Amino acid sequence: MKRLLHQVKTYVFPPKSEAELPEAPVLAPADWQLAIDRLQQWSTKYGHAPCLPGRCNVCGEASAFFCKDQALARESYTCGACGTTSRYRALAHGVLRWFAEELGVRAESLAGLREHKLPRPVRVYDAQLPFYYNTCSYPLPDLLAAVEGVQVQCSRFRGADPLGAPIEGREQVVNPAASNQNLERLTFADSSFDLVITSDVMEHVRLDALAHAEIRRVLAPGGAYLFTVPHSRAMAATTHRVVVRDPLDPSQDDFVMEREYHGDTNDPENAALSFRVYGTDLDDTLRDLGLQVDYTFFPFGGVGVANGVVNTELFYCKLPA
Ligand SMILES: [Zn+2]
């Protein structure tokens, strides 16, 4: 136990320089006392991977973020308490930023939003269903739906099912509601949502220009589109793995690179084809739609480290009121 304590109180992935260290300790000793009983259990569950102490901005717990491989940081640094990854907490960072900037509601975590009274109703669309696996969870839609005054709609896409249809087995669930949606042709009315969230989805959408326009269409003035996506800031132009010759005819799609599939947490039986890796021209696409693009990279030791958001990015795109 002594060794374990030492492990969680130390940066197992040491910052390269003093300058990368956070200004304040990430957790007060008293907070660690709260988590101490659970540390052994968490450590076993995550294969005794190195961990970083901090407070989770999703579940709000004093926690430890477990990471076996720094190269996989954005999909790792998993919260021992709630199972969210660094990337999911980057999205939570964006959600909390929007609530603070737009509504004046300042909460430290999504779970903590429940204690606040909102000045007006908030409508959220998340293109990811919530899920809870043993060592990875996506509770964002459920936590937001638990806030009084927040209405959440989430979705997944199956081409064979009618668009807009409630997802099988979830018909009775009102908040978060869930329906079958094609991002290229959303069934929602204009200006339906204050927040739209996509989580590593856009690289899998065949006609992404249509999808971005659709997201802009359903976003209400003053709303924000928050997302993560595989991309490179060092690359101006998007790399197309698949060239779409005729938008109406997928059979003519030209696979100019080896086909790459990513696991689809919305649909584990069907891995999703990756169409592209974005460059910074993505910013221009979004700006042309009238969105204010604010890209943030959270480095190790940066502003997100206390929440276990490290080596991860977030696009925060506001539609002016
Ligand atoms: Zn957590």
* pLDDT score at 103: 97
Tally of domains within the chain: 1
Q: What confidence tier does 264 reach under pLDDT thresholds 50, 70, 90?
A: low
Q: What is the pTM of this model?
A: 0.88
267 Cα to the center of ligand 1, angstroms = 23
CATH number at residue 209: 3.40.50.150
Q: Are the CB atoms for 220 and 188 separated by under 8 Å? A: no
Matching residue, tokens 């926690």:
63
69 Cα to the center of ligand 1, angstroms = 19
Peptide bond into 141 cis (omega under 30): no
- CA dist 41 and 80 (Å) reads 9
Residue at 97 is within a domain:
no
58 Cα to the center of ligand 1, angstroms = 5
6-60 pLDDT, tens digit per residue, is 444 444 444 444 444 444 445 666 666 666 777 878 888 898 888 888 889 999 9
SS3 178: strand
Domain that holds residue 244: 117-297+313-318
Q: How many CA atoms lie within 13 A of 2 on its CB side?
A: 0
218-260 pLDDT, tens digit per residue, is 999 999 999 999 888 999 998 887 888 888 888 888 787 777 8
- CA dist 157 and 225 (Å) reads 19
Q: How many CB atoms lie within 10 A of CB 284?
A: 12
Pair type for strands 219-228 and 193-199 = parallel
- CA dist 315 and 297 (Å) reads 9
Pair type for strands 122-126 and 193-199 = parallel
Residue at 45 is within a domain:
no
Average pLDDT over residues 305-316: 90
* pLDDT score at 266: 60
Residue at 280 is within a domain:
yes
Q: Are the CB atoms for 140 and 265 separated by under 8 Å? A: no
Average pLDDT over residues 101-107: 97
> Which among 91, 119, 92 is positioned nearest to 103, based on CA atoms?
119
Residue at 83 is within a domain:
no
Residue at 62 is within a domain:
no
pLDDT at position 106 over 90: yes
Q: Are the CB atoms for 59 and 79 separated by under 8 Å? A: yes
104 Cα to the center of ligand 1, angstroms = 23
* pLDDT score at 14: 41
Residue at 50 is within a domain:
no
* pLDDT score at 124: 98
pLDDT at position 1 over 80: no
Residue at 42 is within a domain:
no
171 Cα to the center of ligand 1, angstroms = 28
Burial class (CB in 10 A: 0-12, 13-18, 19+), 245: exposed
Neighbours of ion ligand 1 (CB under 5 A): 56, 58-59, 79, 81-82
32 Cα to the center of ligand 1, angstroms = 14
Q: In this structure, what is the dihedral angle of CA atoms 299, 302, 305, 307, given to the nearest 10 degrees?
A: -110
